[in-house]
Amino acid sequence: MAAPNRSNVLGLPEGGMALHIGVHKTGTTAIQAALANSRPVLGQWHVQYPGNRQAHRLIASSAMDRRLGWRVGGSPAPEPQAWTKFVQDAHAFHGITVCSSEFFAESDDATVQKIVKDVGQDQVHVIVTLRNFARILPSAWQQILKSGYATAYLPWLQHVLTSEELEPKASTFWNRHRHDLVVNRWAAAAGPERVTVVVVDDNDRDGIYRNFEYLLGLPEDTLLNHRDAAPNRSMTLAEAELLRQLNLTLGGGKGWRPYSDQVHDGLIKAMIERRVPEPDEPRMQTPQWALDRAAELGQAYVDAIRASGVHVVGNLDVLSEHLTGPESVDQAPPISIPISAAMTAMLGALDGSRLSPERSTTTRLKRRIRRLQTDLRPKRRT
């Protein structure tokens, strides 16, 4: 027998919308994948996650009436009717519609007010996922590498945390990660009683699934059992440097690349999903001065969120936890990159390439690379 729906947790009526707005780098990809994978069973509990994509980026683009992402010029143009139809379908559904895109968090005051008005203030509940600000820093930097930039980590930290002059990359970062302003902006439009902050704790990897199950009235493990098997891990220091040098060499490091998206995305996806780093491979390190500044900002965010009157699921103090790191970090990039990382990245690039030579040539090259990977793999001792 299906478990009873607990939609009253959000206070949504039939035809209401749970609008998950991110923010970026707070487990959004993980929960979106679980929701997308759960589509066939969600209807049993009067919940739907519309569409066939993992996230509702195109719906957010339509609602916000702008192109989204770092590569603004190359992003799909917004479709004016997509958001209108999404809202109409949500109102017609006999249950709760979930809409999720971290790009909603970038909306300005006027756009937030429009979105809430479109859905209806009494028919929307806004869910904001937040994570310790210090833990977001390396993830956010790696994201700009994936977008073609080539600024090294330490100079980037200096710029976003200490500079008063904000270049586009830093301006976008702060638009996303002034968590206090994001929460207050949506609370002002929807009402604090219709906004819930979900604290994402890195020490409890399954917590985000349990919290969304609770909020959406789903039985335990519904989302947990549908999470993606592929790891959504961060790049190692060497992997990040490989991508940074590629951006610098081929694209000049000024944002996006002249080589195709298929090559680039295939390279990154393969390197992260097909490869398990060795335990002794160096990871990203954030210097103590940056962690101190992050804790200071995190505490200000926590104080503002507590004062806002919004609902909170989890321990807010996790967001301002003061992390410990090295007093200084070596500025020099790694002088060597694991062969397995380079090989796996090359295979991914070949898999995604539309510009490859004859298919037979590509196939032969991939076979040679795989043979090299096998030859270079450490032999098990008997």
pLDDT > 70? residue 352: no
Residues 6+ apart with CB under 8 A from 108: 185
Tens-digit pLDDT profile for residues 134-176: 999 999 999 888 888 888 999 999 999 987 766 556 788 999 9
To the nearest 10 degrees (0 to 180), the angle between helices 133-146 and 288-308 is: 110
Q: Give the percent of the chain with pLDDT over 70.
A: 77
Of 222, 206, 226, give the one whose Cα is nearest residue 3.
Answer: 222
Residue located via tokens 């590498």: 145
Answer positive or negative: Cα dihedral of 321, 327, 328, 329: negative
Q: How many CB atoms lie within 10 A of CB 364?
A: 11
- Token couple for 356: 């490859």
pLDDT > 70? residue 364: no
DSSP 122: G
Q: What distance in Å separates the CA atoms of residue 356 and residue 200, rounded to the nearest whole number?
A: 41
pLDDT at 70: 58
pLDDT > 50? residue 205: yes
**Collapsed DSSP state (helix, strand, coil) of residue 127:** strand
> How is the chain split into domains, by residue range?
7-142+172-232+288-320, 237-283+338-376
* Cβ-count burial 108-136 (b if 16+ within 10 Å, e if not): eeebbbbbbebbeeebbbbbbbbbbbbbb
Q: What distance in Å separates the CA atoms of residue 254 and residue 260, rounded to the nearest whole number?
A: 16
- Whole-number mean pLDDT of the chain? 85
Whether 110 and 90 have beta carbons less than 8 Å apart is answered as no
Tens-digit pLDDT profile for residues 251-281: 666 665 555 566 667 777 778 877 888 888 8
Tens-digit pLDDT profile for residues 49-95: 999 999 999 999 999 999 887 554 557 789 989 999 999 999 999 99
Residues 6+ apart with CB under 8 A from 331: 152, 154
Q: Please tell me the least confidently modeled range out of 118-122, 171-175, 224-228.
A: 171-175
Q: Specify the pTM.
A: 0.85
Q: What distance in Å separates the CA atoms of residue 27 and residue 208, rounded to the nearest whole number?
A: 8
- Token couple for 2: 């299906």
**What secondary structure does DSSP assign to 75-90, as a single string?**
SPPP-HHHHHHHHHHH
Whether 315 and 306 have beta carbons less than 8 Å apart is answered as no
Q: What distance in Å separates the CA atoms of residue 138 and residue 161, rounded to the nearest whole number?
A: 13
pLDDT grade for 232, boundaries at 50, 70 and 90: confident
3-state secondary structure the chain: CCCCCCHHHCCCCCCCEEEECCCCCCCHHHHHHHHHHCHHHHHHHCEECCCCCCCCHHHHHHHHCCCCCCCHHHCCCCCHHHHHHHHHHHHHCCCEEEEECHHHHHCCHHHHHHHHHHHCHHHEEEEEEEECHHHHHHHHHHHHHHCCECCCHHHHHHHHHHCCCCCHHHHHHHHHHCHHHHHHHHHHHHCHHHEEEEEECCCCCCHHHHHHHHHHCCCCCCCHHHCCCCCCCCCCHHHHHHHHHHHHHHHCCECCCCCCHHHHHHHHHHHHHCCCCCCCCCCCCCCHHHHHHHHHHHHHHHHHHHHHCCEEECCHHHHHCCCCCCCCCCCCCCCCCCHHHHHHHHHHHHHHCCCCCCHHHHHHHHHHHHHHHHHHCCCCCC
DSSP 221: T
Mean pLDDT along residues 360-370: 48
Q: Which CATH architecture has domain 7-142+172-232+288-320?
A: 3-Layer(aba) Sandwich (3.40)
